[in-house]
């Protein structure tokens, strides 16, 4: 009994003597185990940093490494999906991302990237579904807001787009792009004062942004439309020489009691670009104001030769003939102007409906049809695409796009 | 104000305390609340001083019941003192409808001005008994209008010597047609825009000459697609008969050209006064006729919605007009204003007609422009307008919910004064205290063969600085009635050489320079017995 006790007490003494060493060793072993167990997570975190850096080779390397790590297969699939989007392998990407969605940790990002992939495939309904799911999981992920903003912009749901652009701007305080797009949307909807604020904020965030010249011109145009002529002239003074800049300057001068200066600027523009429509419409208006009916008719006719569907030119030409007493020509142009006015009103009405019904493909198709009648093939194309994206089974939209493609193929636009 | 122009807010000391109510506290956000109310100037008791009439507005009950509010009549006691006389005048009862505007005319040619009150769901015609009291006679006169009338104008459309009536109508809103229009923040309800509703046909009533009226809208040839807010009636073509200009909200404005025999032809687009310079129909509210460039031809004005320039249509002759807001400096005002009451008058007495404009928004949550807005005084400088500078405080520096506006000489000093009405805030009386050497003339025309108010008459004052045209107008401004007497301002060095009156009857009358004194009443000459 005493022997047994002696052995135990010896062991206790040894333990006490070497206790520190044992504890340290055990601790090290535990830490080593933990580090080994967390190695895939570390890989995954680094992979996400690689994504940020757009180092796609590194992303693929880490994805491969993670494939064999227990419990990290969904993480690997997420990374593969992200990389495949960059390779434009969108359907493969979606397949991988769908697998990644099954894991709680990878679901938010998988949804977000799947949304991006669907967006790039112009499958807007699915894209929206994915992006909204991503948004629900991670409401402050800036890229989700970016894609939602783009999606709603492309489908004409501008109110929704503005919400996500505003959030994007808030989450990315140095990015000038959201405000530029906010400005563009507001300008297109003739909300010139908010457009001005947005463009100015974009320029404040990045005064030397790559699109600076375009942003300045859009800002100046908004200022002219908001009748802030002095401010517009200041903005235009920062722009490079261009016909657009000069026409806007001329409009400012005309409104600010500088009719002769406006005419001189327009003459300069028209020397360089003889048939520039906006210059001709403005000149026609100034000449009408001066009572030079012959000059006005000449300018407006030239404008309509370039763009027969310029409504303002047509309206003013009808007025000029009316005042000249040429009732035959006046009636002819007034009739065409009335037809165009109806189309413009129909377009505006449909546009309004498109905002309130963000998922209605038929409205977008009709917008395309009216845009085509208004000689705006670019707009028509976008609206047909939007209709088809919202409803891939929309045969009329598909046929319209096909007709357009065929026309482009023969070098002849349907319009 | 500018050093050369002083308009002083004297409301507090006058005893005029009136607030037009629109019922917004019910929280219904109806388009009904957006129109506001007007103001009328007339000498109802013929004491030589202009009195004030205000329609009361209305309230919206919790059960969506629409009720009228009591109007107000203030008697001018002189020296800028007014007394409320609504009770003694018999006007103390609220109307059975929600009221907006007033148009004042002597429809029975008895010499006493009568008051028509427009609104949603009814109109009232207050016959001036001549003893300081009024009697509501619309039913007796055959005037029944349960629609939604806004501005109205008296005029003799068929030249029979009796005043007829034009009632502009707005849109088909009702609580049964009251869609939810979302505000900018979820949960907010915004007032729906007029595009959400269909236009209501306007009403043209023809006087039978015996105090009765009948609906003549069809024979006049009224269009049915205008959302009318303003109307002005004058001899716009200068051909001796009366034409009608109607301001519509978001639809083309109408110009009804008199084709004779009580018939009219709507030629707004052809004549160039239906739309702006880009060919776009504006949200037009207030209207007026003027001769801003002193070329002897009547020009037209329409106050418009934000982002749309106020429209100045220059008469180019041969019945044609041109939108000249850009070259006239109007566009340079910016796009912040939602303009309503508008009145051209020569405030500084330099011979050019200046313009006053009441501004204020119509929706609850505007993005681009403020809800309350400063009124405008635009000084006419040889056909180009300049916004006046004003001190940092005072009426013109303070934003208001401006709506109605009427001008007239309220204190007999011959300088035109102004009254602005607002929504849910007190009306304001502006005293013209401009000090300069310029002279002011007033001519009150009394028709005898023509209608007694001489609506439709044109007068050309011949001066060493050129001819100056003024016209007696029906309607004008927004929901309001200005003084009917004609006003001219003239620089001190300018010599008056006479005047020619063209009466609605077609009669021409020459006035010699010695006749033209500070304030003159001119009777229409009766036909020569030999004639």
Judged by CB atoms closer than 8 Å, whether chains meet at B279 and A255 is answered as no
CB burial of residue B275 (10 Å; 0-12, 13-18, 19+): buried
Rg (CA), chain B: 21
Judged by CB atoms closer than 8 Å, whether chains meet at B322 and A319 is answered as yes
ipTM of the complex: 0.91
Distance CA A234, CA A216 (A): 10
Tell me the per-residue pLDDT of B224-275, one tens digit each, with 9 for 90 and over: 999 999 999 999 999 999 999 999 999 999 999 999 989 999 999 999 999 9
Q: Which residue matches tokens 């107008």?
A: B473
Name the residue of chain A whose CA is nearest to B385's CA.
Answer: A257
Tell me if B64 sits within 8 A of B53, measured CB to CB: no
The conformation of residue B525, written as its DSSP 8-state character, comes to P
Judged by CB atoms closer than 8 Å, whether chains meet at B320 and A322 is answered as yes
Residues of A near B (Cβ–Cβ under 8 Å) read 190-194, 225-229, 254-257, 259, 285, 288-289, 291, 311-312, 314-316, 319, 322-323, 325, 330, 334, 337-338, 341
Residue A318 structure tokens: 């009808």
Task: Give residue A379's pLDDT band: very low, low, confident or very high (50, 70, 90).
Answer: confident
Residues in B closer than 8 angstroms to A315, CB to CB, are 275, 278-279
Distance CA B161, CA B406 (A): 25
Distance CA B292, CA B315 (A): 10
Composition of chain B by helix, strand, coil, percent to 5: 5, 45, 50
pLDDT at A17 exceeding the cut of 80: no
Tell me the per-residue pLDDT of B343-362, one tens digit each, with 9 for 90 and over: 999 999 999 999 999 999 99
pLDDT at B2 exceeding the cut of 70: no
Beta partners for residue B304, in sequence order: B284
Distance CA A116, CA B497 (A): 81
pLDDT at A38 exceeding the cut of 80: no
pLDDT of residue A32: 62
Tell me if A386 sits within 8 A of A155, measured CB to CB: yes
Dihedral, CA of residue B263, residue B267, residue B268 and residue B273, to nearest 10: -110
Task: Give residue A190's pLDDT band: very low, low, confident or very high (50, 70, 90).
Answer: confident
Least confident of A189-193, B408-412, B508-512: A189-193
Residues of B near A (Cβ–Cβ under 8 Å) read 269-270, 272, 275, 277-279, 307, 309, 316, 318, 320, 322, 324, 326-327, 329, 331-336, 367-369, 384
Distance CA B258, CA B467 (A): 25
What mean pLDDT comes out for the span A58-84?
Answer: 92
pLDDT at A13 exceeding the cut of 80: no
Tell me if A316 sits within 8 A of A278, measured CB to CB: no
- Of A39, A95, A46, A93, the C-alpha closest to A71 is A39
pLDDT at B330 exceeding the cut of 80: yes
pLDDT of residue A37: 52
Task: Give residue A413's pLDDT band: very low, low, confident or very high (50, 70, 90).
Answer: very low
Task: Give residue A412's pLDDT band: very low, low, confident or very high (50, 70, 90).
Answer: very low
Tell me the per-residue pLDDT of B125-140, one tens digit each, with 9 for 90 and over: 999 999 999 999 999 9
Task: Give residue B368's pLDDT band: very low, low, confident or very high (50, 70, 90).
Answer: confident
Work out the mean pLDDT of chain A and round it to a whole number: 90
CA distance, residue B101 to nearest chain A CA (Å): 31
Higher pLDDT, A378 or A81: A81
Residue A143 structure tokens: 């890229």
CB burial of residue B176 (10 Å; 0-12, 13-18, 19+): exposed
pLDDT at A262 exceeding the cut of 70: yes
pLDDT of residue B367: 82
pLDDT at A411 exceeding the cut of 70: no
Dihedral, CA of residue A385, residue A389, residue A394 and residue A397, to nearest 10: 0
* pTM assigned to the model: 0.89
**What percentage of chain A exceeds 90 in pLDDT?**
73
Tell me the per-residue pLDDT of A91-112, one tens digit each, with 9 for 90 and over: 999 999 999 999 899 999 999 9
∠ CA A329-A334-A336, rounded to 5°: 100
Task: Give residue A33's pLDDT band: very low, low, confident or very high (50, 70, 90).
Answer: low
Side-by-side strand order, sheet with B458-463: B466-471, B458-463, B496-502, B508-511
Cβ-based neighbours of A25, under 8 Å, separated by 6 or more? none
Q: At what angle do helices A311-324 and A327-356 cross, to 10 degrees?
A: 150
Judged by CB atoms closer than 8 Å, whether chains meet at A323 and B322 is answered as yes
Write the DSSP assignment of A229-258 as a string of letters. HHHHHHHHTTSPS-HHHHHHHHHHHHHTT-
Judged by CB atoms closer than 8 Å, whether chains meet at B332 and A256 is answered as yes
Cβ-based neighbours of A193, under 8 Å, separated by 6 or more? A226, B335, B336, B367, B368, B369
Q: Which of B184, B279, B380 to mutate to test the interface with A (most CBs of A within 10 A)?
A: B279
pLDDT at B314 exceeding the cut of 50: yes
pLDDT of residue A35: 56
pLDDT at B1 exceeding the cut of 80: no
What mean pLDDT comes out for the span B518-530?
Answer: 86
pLDDT of residue B122: 97
Name the residue of chain B whose CA is nearest to A290's CA.
Answer: B327
Could you tell me the CA-to-CA distances from A313 to A148, A245, A273, A284, B323 in Å, in that order? Answer: 38, 20, 18, 8, 14
Name the residue of chain B whose CA is nearest to A258's CA.
Answer: B327
pLDDT of residue A289: 96
- Of A118, A127, A38, the C-alpha closest to A75 is A38
Per DSSP, the three-state class of A362 is helix
Judged by CB atoms closer than 8 Å, whether chains meet at A227 and B309 is answered as yes
Helix or strand holding residue A162 (H, E):
helix A158-171
């Amino acid at each position: 009994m005493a022997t047994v006790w002696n052995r135990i007490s010896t062991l206790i003494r040894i333990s006490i003597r070497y206790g520190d060493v044992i504890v340290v060793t055990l601790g090290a072993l535990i830490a080593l185990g933990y580090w080994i167990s967390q190695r895939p997570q570390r890989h995954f975190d680094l992979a996400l940093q690689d994504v940020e850096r757009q180092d796609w080779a590194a992303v693929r390397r880490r994805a491969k490494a993670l494939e064999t790590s227990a419990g990290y297969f969904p993480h690997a699939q997420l990374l593969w999906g992200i990389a495949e989007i960059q390779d434009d392998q969108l359907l493969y990407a979606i397949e991988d991302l769908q697998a990644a969605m099954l894991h709680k940790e990878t679901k938010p990002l998988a949804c977000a990237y799947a949304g991006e992939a669907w967006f790039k495939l112009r499958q807007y309904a699915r894209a929206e579904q994915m992006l909204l799911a991503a948004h629900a999981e991670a409401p402050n992920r800036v890229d989700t807001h970016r894609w939602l903003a783009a999606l709603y912009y492309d489908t004409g749901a501008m109110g929704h787009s503005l919400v996500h652009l505003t959030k994007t701007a808030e989450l990315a305080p140095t990015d000038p792009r959201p405000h530029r797009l906010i400005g563009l949307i507001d300008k297109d909807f003739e909300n010139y004062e908010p457009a001005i604020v947005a463009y100015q904020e974009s320029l404040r965030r990045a005064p030397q942004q790559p699109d600076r010249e375009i942003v300045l011109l859009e800002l100046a145009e908004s200022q002219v439309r908001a009748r802030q002529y002095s401010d517009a002239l200041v903005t235009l003074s920062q722009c490079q020489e261009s016909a657009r800049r000069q026409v806007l300057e001329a409009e400012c001068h005309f409104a600010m009691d500088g009719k002769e200066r406006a005419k001189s600027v327009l003459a300069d523009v028209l020397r360089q670009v003889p048939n520039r429509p906006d210059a001709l419409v403005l000149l026609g208006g100034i000449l009408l104001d001066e009572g030079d009916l012959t000059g006005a008719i000449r300018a407006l006719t030239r404008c309509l030769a370039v763009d027969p569907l310029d409504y303002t030119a047509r309206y003013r030409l009808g007025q000029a003939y009316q005042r000249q007493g040429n009732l035959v020509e006046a009636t002819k142009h007034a009739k065409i102007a009335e037809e165009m006015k109806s189309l413009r009103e129909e377009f505006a009405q449909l546009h309004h409906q498109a905002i309130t019904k963000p998922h209605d493909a038929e409205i977008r198709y009709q917008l395309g049809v009216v845009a085509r009648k208004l000689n705006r093939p670019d707009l028509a194309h976008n609206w047909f695409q939007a209709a088809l994206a919202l409803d891939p089974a929309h045969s009329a939209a598909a046929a319209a796009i096909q007709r357009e493609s065929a026309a482009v193929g023969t070098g002849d636009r349907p319009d | 104000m500018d050093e050369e122009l002083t308009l002083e807010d004297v409301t507090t000391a006058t005893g005029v305390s009136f607030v037009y109510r629109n019922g917004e506290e019910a929280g219904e956000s109806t388009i009904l609340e957006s129109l506001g109310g007007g103001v009328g100037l007339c000498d109802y008791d013929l004491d030589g001083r202009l009195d004030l009439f205000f329609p009361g507005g209305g309230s919206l009950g919790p059960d969506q019941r629409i009720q009228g509010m009591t109007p107000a009549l203030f008697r001018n006691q002189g020296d800028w003192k007014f007394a409320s006389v609504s009770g003694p005048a018999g006007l103390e009862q609220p109307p059975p409808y929600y009221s907006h505007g007033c148009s004042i005319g002597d429809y029975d040619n008895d010499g006493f001005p009568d008051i028509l009150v427009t609104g949603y769901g009814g109109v009232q015609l207050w016959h001036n008994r001549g003893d300081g009291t009024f009697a509501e006679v619309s039913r007796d006169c055959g005037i029944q209008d349960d629609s939604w009338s806004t501005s109205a104008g008296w005029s003799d459309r068929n030249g029979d010597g009796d005043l007829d009536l034009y009632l502009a109508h707005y849109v088909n809103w009702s609580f049964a047609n009251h869609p939810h229009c979302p505000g900018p923040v979820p949960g907010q309800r915004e007032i729906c825009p007029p595009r959400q509703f269909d236009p209501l046909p306007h009403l043209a009533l023809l006087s039978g000459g015996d105090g009765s009226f009948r609906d003549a809208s069809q024979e006049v040839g009224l269009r049915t697609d205008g959302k009318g807010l303003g109307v002005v009636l004058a001899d716009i073509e200068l051909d001796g008969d009366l034409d009608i200009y109607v301001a519509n909200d978001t639809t083309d404005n109408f110009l009804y050209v008199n084709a004779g025999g009580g018939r009219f032809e709507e030629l707004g687009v052809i004549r160039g006064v239906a739309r702006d310079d880009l060919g776009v129909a504006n949200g037009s509210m207030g209207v007026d006729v003027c001769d801003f460039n002193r070329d002897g031809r009547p020009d037209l004005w329409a106050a418009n919605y934000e982002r749309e320039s106020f429209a100045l249509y220059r008469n180019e002759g041969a019945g044609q007009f041109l939108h000249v807001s850009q070259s006239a400096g109007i566009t340079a005002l910016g796009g912040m204003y939602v303009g309503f009451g508008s009145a051209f008058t020569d405030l500084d007495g330099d011979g050019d007609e200046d313009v006053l404009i009441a501004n204020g928004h119509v929706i609850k949550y505007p993005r681009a422009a403020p809800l309350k807005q400063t009124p405008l005084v635009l000084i006419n400088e040889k056909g180009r307008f300049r916004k006046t500078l004003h001190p940092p405080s005072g009426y013109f520096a303070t934003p208001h919910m401006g709506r109605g506006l009427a001008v007239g000489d309220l204190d007999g000093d011959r300088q035109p004064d102004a009254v602005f009405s607002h929504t849910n805030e007190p009306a304001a009386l502006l005293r013209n205290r401009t000090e300069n050497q310029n002279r002011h003339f007033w001519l009150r025309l009394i028709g005898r063969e023509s209608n007694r108010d001489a609506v439709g008459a044109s007068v050309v004052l011949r001066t060493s600085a050129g001819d100056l045209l003024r016209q007696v107008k029906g309607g004008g401004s927004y929901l309001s009635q200005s003084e009917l007497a004609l006003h001219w301002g003239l620089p001190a060095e300018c010599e008056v050489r006479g005047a020619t009156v063209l009466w609605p009857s077609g009669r021409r009358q020459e006035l010699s320079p010695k006749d033209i004194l500070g304030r003159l009443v001119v009777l229409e000459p009766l036909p020569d017995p030999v004639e």
